Structure 1
């Protein structure tokens, strides 16, 4: 069964609004979207609930916002939007000294559409490297406590693929960027390398029963994507067995 997973750091929606962000990705038909740098009821976002706006524009009923900190007369954090019913939501705060209390937000989808129990974990890791080992250890530890047959990890990791920290993640997780094909039918393993700078990821836990059909950054000619965010949306299309 196909499962279309997207991660998108939306830059607080400070350049646009939730409805326009949703319109920009609608044609890619995401089943689940992990969002980072999300405003809710802040002054700069004109006191809108950006996640709710996006969900309404997409026509999806399931969404959740997790606060990282109070900001600009409102809240700032991470969130998700799901096309399918969500049975359980897990929340965890990662260790760190930053004023941004880095969060783990996970959703276990309700059984029915998929034979396997799918768990999607969304996070926005600290951009400071001094506690990265502790942060990753805690992240992996808590994910192991979350229940799911097939586990996906997505978000803005704030680290490059050439770092030792990326190598640590790859010990137990597969990077969708190197699996499946791109939008032109090219095998990603043959055309992509670790030196390409990127910090947005979608990972699948090793030994899970899945296959990547496609993985790609969205940067088509439908609009100027730099006017929406300082990140591009990244998507992986899975076949979940």
Structure 2
């Protein structure tokens, strides 16, 4: 699953934090691994709670890695990996930005996932820059591709790429990875969605088969719809 959770703030309820709504949306799909974006840890706006730890507990996906992107309101803000399976080799990669671009720093959270039967894969969660100018996103996806080039085991990357199919950013993603959908259903806004910007992608193509790709019709919990994929492993 990939889910931009809007710091657990339902868009229809300004200032309200509803971690349970996000946790329930995740549990309903029963995923093994989730890439989560826009996560608050100990921020004032979210009531000084650790959303990463709470979501891990409430979803029973107890292996987790929170990757801080920025300081925010007295706490941390970033992306998260939730996993049913053990994680190791945890790493937070800082993604680049053009100098003086006024963009928001972004990261790639990465971990090795220890699957049943002794198999391993890499999983990444990311959230690319949202600026109208795509320059930062282009730098960031090139960096993610370069990181992926160094990885010998199968890999999945998922997140909010803030870029639509046909954009240069997604063309670059497609050079290195195979997306679980093409064309993809829209994921934002949650009510009457117009654009697909949330994707799950994998490499090498021979390592996985996509059994199902679905955009979940959960319109309350966040301004993005969750994306899920059921994948069969061939490694």
Give the TM-score, by structure 2 length. 0.84
Alignment partners' CA distance in 1, 2:50 and 2:138 = 34
Alignment partners' CA distance in 1, 2:173 and 2:69 = 23
Structure-to-structure mapping, 1:5-16, within 5 angstroms: 6-15=1-10, 16=17
Do the aligned partners of residues 116 and 203 (structure 1) sit closer, same or farther apart at CA in structure 2, a change above 3 Å counting? same
Instruction: Check whether the contact 1:118–1:148 (CA below 8 A) recurs between aligned residues.
Output: no
SS of residue in 1 equivalent to 2:147:
helix
SS of residue in 1 equivalent to 2:219:
helix
Query: Unaligned stretches of 5+ in structure 1?
Result: 1-5, 179-188, 220-224
Query: 2:227 matched to 1:216?
Result: no
Alignment partners' CA distance in 2, 1:114 and 1:43 = 43
The more displaced of 93-102 and 116-125 is 93-102
Do the aligned partners of residues 217 and 91 (structure 1) sit closer, same or farther apart at CA in structure 2, a change above 3 Å counting? same
Alignment partners' CA distance in 2, 1:173 and 1:202 = 9
SS of residue in 2 equivalent to 1:79:
strand
Structure-to-structure mapping, 1:28-67, within 5 angstroms: 28-67=29-68
Do the aligned partners of residues 24 and 135 (structure 1) sit closer, same or farther apart at CA in structure 2, a change above 3 Å counting? closer
Alignment partners' CA distance in 2, 1:100 and 1:205 = 28
Instruction: Check whether the contact 2:185–2:196 (CA below 8 A) recurs between aligned residues.
Output: no
Residue 100 of structure 1, CA deviation: 2.5
2:20 corresponding residue in structure 1: 19
Instruction: Check whether the contact 2:33–2:83 (CA below 8 A) recurs between aligned residues.
Output: yes
1:206 corresponding residue in structure 2: 204
Deviation digits for residues 199-239 of structure 1 (CA, Å, limit 9, x no counterpart): 000001134411101010111xxxxx333110011011100
1:166 is aligned, of 148, 156, 170, to: 170
How many pairs are equivalent?
Answer: 216
Alignment partners' CA distance in 2, 1:238 and 1:64 = 22
Give the TM-score, by structure 1 length. 0.82
1:233 corresponding residue in structure 2: 226
Residue 192 of structure 1, CA deviation: 6.7
Structure-to-structure mapping, 1:62-211, within 5 angstroms: 62-96=63-97, 97-98=101-102, 100-111=104-115, 113-114=116-117, 116-128=119-131, 129-145=134-150, 147-178=151-182, 197-211=195-209
Alignment partners' CA distance in 1, 2:86 and 2:160 = 24
Alignment partners' CA distance in 2, 1:41 and 1:192 = 34
Alignment partners' CA distance in 2, 1:54 and 1:148 = 30
Query: Unaligned stretches of 5+ in structure 2?
Result: 11-16, 187-193
Alignment partners' CA distance in 2, 1:73 and 1:31 = 32
